[in-house]
Amino acid sequence: MTVVLSTISAARQWMRTERSAGKTIGLVPTMGALHEGHLSLFRQARQRCDCVIASIFVNPLQFGPTEDYDHYPRNLDHDMTLAEQEKLNAIFHPEAREMYPQPPQITVSPGRFGELLCGVSRPGHFQGVATVVAKLFNILQPNVAFFGQKDAQQAIIVQRMAQDLNFPVAIEICPIVREPDGLAMSSRNQYLNAADRVRATVLYQALRRAERLIRSGVRDAIQVEREMQEVIATTPGVELDYARVVDRQSLQDVSEVTGEVLLAVAARFGRTRLIDNMIVVPEG
């Protein structure tokens, strides 16, 4: 039986009860609209921790004024069915006014990590993410928190936040889960119409093309970026946001692929913006 906790005090009480019983707590922060990607995080959390709580909270702070906060898919019944199936111990599902009774004045700045890649077209987004994740860590005090590699920049920012601000939580990053045709699972995939759903596979195709180039010995990052850009931008109906080769940890541009790199892409399909990435280690 999965308990639904909708207030911070109920969530804290639940956390204290589990902790005093000597149990370790795994947290999977989500915005709901659960899919196989989330389920893989739940399963990982169940393996590692005695009890698992998922938060379902569409965080207004991480949406820009013209973004999809109002339309973001919300379906608690569907999410609860999956939570029960996956034997989650609890769901933390607060209202926005519970999390933000007043507009927050004190927030967490992700520094330069928030200004790169997705931060360019989504100013303030990662500050909103870091702030809500810090609040969730403070409220639920998990031993381990689980995030998906699909949101690579978010994962790096959360890891750095936990290190830099000394949160006593281990951060575990779990692999991307893909549809059979390669499209990375995302709650926003459900916005895609049939034509855009087909086009959306171009992100994975671009990553695979770049991976093959690097494996074949190409080391010039600009060349690799150009190839990815071409694959995406030449697909009719797709608007490229970025296609970059960056250092896996610092997310800074690299000119030569000498070590582990993150290939990161983002594009718009109609009004839907999707991202994807791949970590590649050059051979030899």
Residue 87 CB, shortest distance to ligand PAF, in Å, is: 21
CA distances from 180 to 133, 153, 177, 184, 185 (A): 31, 24, 10, 9, 10
Stretch that binds ligand PAF, among 111-119, 125-133, 169-177, 209-217 (CB under 6 A): 125-133
Contact 61, 128 (CB under 8 A): yes
Contact 49, 24 (CB under 8 A): yes
Distance from the Cα of residue 115 to its chain's centroid: 16
Residue 13: CB partners within 8 Å, gap ≥ 6? none
Provide φ and ψ at 5, rounded to 5°.
Answer: -115, 125
Residue 136 CB, shortest distance to ligand PAF, in Å, is: 8
Residue 38 CB, shortest distance to ligand PAF, in Å, is: 8
State the binding string over 23-42 for ligand PAF (x if CB under 6 A, else -). Answer: ------xxx-----------
Contact 29, 133 (CB under 8 A): yes
Task: Bin 117: left if φ > 0, else alpha if -120 < ψ < 50, else beta.
Answer: left
Q: Nearest CA to 92 among 189, 181, 5?
A: 5
Among residues 2, 44, 59, 89, the one that binds ligand PAF under rule CB under 6 A: 59
User: Which residue number, 93 or 199, has a Cβ lying nearer to ligand PAF?
Assistant: 93
Tokens representing 177 are: 């889960």
Asked whether position 267 contacts ligand PAF by CB under 6 A, the answer is no
Among residues 153, 154, 159, 189, the one that binds ligand PAF under rule CB under 6 A: 154
Contact 239, 268 (CB under 8 A): yes
Asked whether position 132 contacts ligand PAF by CB under 6 A, the answer is yes
Asked whether position 11 contacts ligand PAF by CB under 6 A, the answer is no
Stretch that binds ligand PAF, among 46-54, 75-83, 126-134, 221-229 (CB under 6 A): 126-134
Stretch that binds ligand PAF, among 128-136, 167-175, 209-217, 261-269 (CB under 6 A): 128-136
State the binding string over 70-109 for ligand PAF (x if CB under 6 A, else -). Answer: ----------------------------------------
Rg (CA), the chain: 19
CA distances from 135 to 13, 55, 107, 161 (A): 16, 11, 10, 12
Tokens representing 43 are: 């399963």
Residue 133 CB, shortest distance to ligand PAF, in Å, is: 6
Helices (H) and strands (E) in the chain, counts: 10, 9
Residue 132 CB, shortest distance to ligand PAF, in Å, is: 5
Asked whether position 251 contacts ligand PAF by CB under 6 A, the answer is no
User: Which residue number, 150 or 199, has a Cβ lying nearer to ligand PAF?
Assistant: 150
Known catalytic residue at 38: yes
Q: What is the DSSP letter of 185?
A: P
Asked whether position 151 contacts ligand PAF by CB under 6 A, the answer is yes
**Residues contacting ligand PAF: total by CB under 6 A:** 10
Residues at the site binding ligand PAF, with contacts judged by CB under 6 A: 29-31, 59, 62, 129, 132-133, 151, 154
Which active-site residues does the annotation give? Answer: 38
